[in-house]
C-alpha cells in the first residue's frame, strides 16, 4: 500500500480530501480550527515536495447550490495563514473555472475548491420533496448516474489522491471513497491524520495488547448497543458507566429512583450480561453513585449504593468506591478504549468520576498501555481535564470512530486499502 511518507509529490497534482467542516459563528468566523490544523502536516508535505495541492472538503449540510452560509470562502484566509502561503479559490468545485484553475496550478501552488456538498452528487442523495415513491426512486437512480460524472470530474483534476478526512471515512461519498477507483494503488494513499486514526483503531481492535478494557459511558444503552455487542467479542473488561448504569442496575433488580433509564432495554441489558459471561468478559458495573435531588449542578447530593437510590433522587455520577474499582481495572490494562463520560460531566459537581477515569488512563498510559479516547463527549472530557496529550490518541472522528468500533468496514478506508 502506498504511504504519504514514501510518495514524492514533485510534479504531481494532488487531490486531497480533508475535513474542514469547522464550526462558524453567526459572522462566519471560525470558532474552533482543530480540524484544519489536524490536516496541516499532510498539506505541508505536498507543498514542500513541490506538488500542486488541490484541497477539497465539505462544510455543513447545504440544501442548495450555492448556499453561502456554508461557503468555504469563509475559511480561505485562515487556511492561507496556517499554510503560510497564497491559497487560490475555485468558487464552483465542478465548474469550468475549477478545471482551468487546476490546469494552471504550478508546483507548490494551492487551490481550495468550494464546498463539495453544494452538489448533491457528493453524497449521492437526491434533494427535495417527492410526491410518490416512484418519483423518489427515479431521482435516486438519476443522481447515482450523475454522481459518476461528478466523481470522474473531480478525479480528472489530479494525478494522485490523498484521503485525510477520517471524520467522513464512514461515508461512501464521491470524494471520500468513490473517487479512489480512478487512481491505481501507487497513486492513492491516506494522509498523516488518517494514517494515525487507522493505526490507533487497529491497535485497539485487532493488534490488541491484553488485558483490553473498554469504558463505555454516555447516556443511553440504545445508542451504544452495537458497539457493546462488538466489544463483547474483543475485550477482557467492559466498564459500564454513565446513564447506562441505571438501565443495567434496574434490570438486575436495583432501585434507581429517578435516574435515567430505558425501560424497553431492560431485557437487552440482561442479554448483554449473559453474552459477556459466555465470552469470559468481565463486566464492571458501578457500586455506588453520587445522587442528586434534581438534574442540576446546584442540587443537594449524597453518595449511596447504586441499587438503593431513594425515590425522587437520581444518579448523576459514580461514587468514590466505584472510582477506585474502575481505576484499578484500568491501571491493570494494556489496551484502553474510552467512549463516554461516567456522569453528567458538564456540571462541575458531577465530573469527579470522569476525572478519575481520565487520571487512571493517564497512569496506565505512562506505564505502557495504549489508550484511545474518542466519540463525542469523551473528547470534550479529556480537553476539559487537560489530559488530551497524556493519552496515546484522541480520535478526531466521532461517527467514524464509533462505526469502526462497532466493527464496520469504513468505505473511506476500504477505498484506499482494500480488504
Residues making contact with ligand AMP (CB under 6 A): 218-220, 223, 242-243, 260, 315-316, 340-341, 343-344, 346, 376-377
Catalytic option among 17, 35, 224, 265: 35
- Residue 319 annotated among the catalytic residues of the structure: no
CA distance 236 to 209: 11
Handedness of CA 165, 168, 170, 175 (dihedral sign): negative
Catalytic option among 220, 275, 390, 417: 220
**Rounded to the nearest 5°, which phi and psi values hold at 144?**
-65, -35
Minimum separation from the CB atom of position 129 to ligand AMP (A)? 31
- Residue 171 annotated among the catalytic residues of the structure: no
Angle between helices 398-405 and 192-205 (to 10 degrees): 30
Residues 97, 91: contact at Cβ < 8 Å?
yes
Residue 328: how many other CB atoms lie within 10 Å = 11
Alpha-helical regions (H) of 186-315: 192-205, 225-231, 244-251, 266-278
Catalytic option among 376, 390, 407, 417: 376
- Residue 17 annotated among the catalytic residues of the structure: no
Nearer to ligand AMP, 49 or 262 (CB): 262
Minimum separation from the CB atom of position 378 to ligand AMP (A)? 7
Nearer to ligand AMP, 29 or 346 (CB): 346
Residues 314, 291: contact at Cβ < 8 Å?
yes
In the bound complex, which residue of the shown chain has the CB atom lying closest to ligand AMP?
Answer: 218
Nearer to ligand AMP, 41 or 376 (CB): 376
Beta-strand ranges (E) seen in 273-389 are 282-284, 288-292, 301-305, 308-309, 314-318, 335-339, 370-373
Minimum separation from the CB atom of position 286 to ligand AMP (A)? 10
Lookup: cell for 260: 435515567
- Residue 324 annotated among the catalytic residues of the structure: no
Nearer to ligand AMP, 51 or 217 (CB): 217
Catalytic option among 95, 399, 407, 417: 399
Minimum separation from the CB atom of position 292 to ligand AMP (A)? 9
Residue 226: how many other CB atoms lie within 10 Å = 14
Nearer to ligand AMP, 43 or 260 (CB): 260
Minimum separation from the CB atom of position 244 to ligand AMP (A)? 8
Catalytic residues: 35, 220, 376, 399
Amino acid at each position: 500500500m502506498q504511504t504519504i511518507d514514501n510518495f514524492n509529490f514533485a510534479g504531481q497534482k494532488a487531490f486531497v480530501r480533508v475535513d474542514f467542516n469547522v464550526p462558524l459563528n453567526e459572522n462566519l468566523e471560525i470558532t474552533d480550527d482543530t480540524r484544519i490544523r489536524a490536516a496541516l502536516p499532510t498539506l505541508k508535505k505536498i507543498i514542500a515536495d513541490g506538488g500542486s495541492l488541490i484541497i477539497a472538503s465539505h462544510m455543513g449540510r447545504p440544501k442548495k447550490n450555492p448556499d453561502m452560509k456554508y461557503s468555504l470562502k469563509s475559511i480561505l484566509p485562515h487556511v492561507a495563514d496556517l499554510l503560510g502561503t497564497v491559497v487560490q479559490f475555485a468558487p464552483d468545485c465542478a465548474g469550468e473555472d475549477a478545471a482551468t484553475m487546476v490546469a494552471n496550478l504550478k508546483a507548490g501552488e494551492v487551490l481550495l475548491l468550494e464546498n463539495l456538498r453544494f452538489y448533491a452528487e457528493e453524497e449521492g442523495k437526491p434533494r427535495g420533496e417527492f410526491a410518490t415513491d416512484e418519483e423518489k426512486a427515479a431521482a435516486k437512480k438519476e443522481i447515482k448516474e450523475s454522481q459518476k460524472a461528478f466523481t470522474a470530474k473531480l478525479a480528472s483534476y489530479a494525478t494522485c489522491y490523498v484521503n485525510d478526512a477520517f471524520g467522513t471515512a464512514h461515508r461512501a461519498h464521491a470524494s471520500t471513497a468513490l473517487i479512489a477507483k480512478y487512481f491505481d494503488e501507487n497513486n492513492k494513499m491516506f494522509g498523516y491524520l488518517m494514517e494515525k486514526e487507522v493505526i490507533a483503531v487497529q491497535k485497539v481492535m485487532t493488534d490488541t495488547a491484553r488485558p483490553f478494557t473498554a469504558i463505555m459511558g454516555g447516556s443511553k444503552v440504545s445508542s451504544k448497543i452495537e458497539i457493546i455487542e462488538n466489544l463483547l467479542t474483543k475485550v477482557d473488561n467492559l466498564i459500564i458507566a454513565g446513564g447506562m448504569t441505571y438501565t443495567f442496575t434496574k434490570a438486575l433488580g436495583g432501585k434507581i429512583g429517578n435516574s435515567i433509564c430505558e425501560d424497553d432495554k431492560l431485557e437487552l441489558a440482561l442479554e448483554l450480561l449473559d453474552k459477556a459471561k459466555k465470552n469470559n468478559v468481565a463486566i464492571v458495573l458501578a457500586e455506588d453513585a453520587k445522587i442528586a435531588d434534581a438534574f442540576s449542578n446546584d442540587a443537594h447530593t449524597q453518595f449511596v449504593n447504586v441499587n438503593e437510590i431513594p425515590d425522587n433522587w437520581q444518579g448523576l455520577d459514580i461514587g468514590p468506591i466505584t472510582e477506585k474499582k474502575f481505576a484499578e481495572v484500568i491501571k491493570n490494562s494494556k489496551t484502553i478504549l474510552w467512549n463516554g463520560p461516567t456522569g453528567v460531566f458538564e456540571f462541575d459537581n458531577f465530573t469527579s468520576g470522569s476525572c478519575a477515569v481520565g487520571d487512571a488512563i493517564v497512569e496506565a498510559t505512562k506505564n505502557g498501555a495504549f489508550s484511545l479516547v474518542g466519540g463525542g463527549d469523551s473528547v470534550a472530557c479529556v480537553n476539559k481535564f487537560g489530559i488530551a496529550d497524556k493519552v496515546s490518541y484522541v480520535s478526531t472522528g466521532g461517527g467514524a470512530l464509533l462505526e469502526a468500533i462497532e466493527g464496520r468496514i469504513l468505505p473511506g478506508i476500504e477505498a484506499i486499502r482494500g480488504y
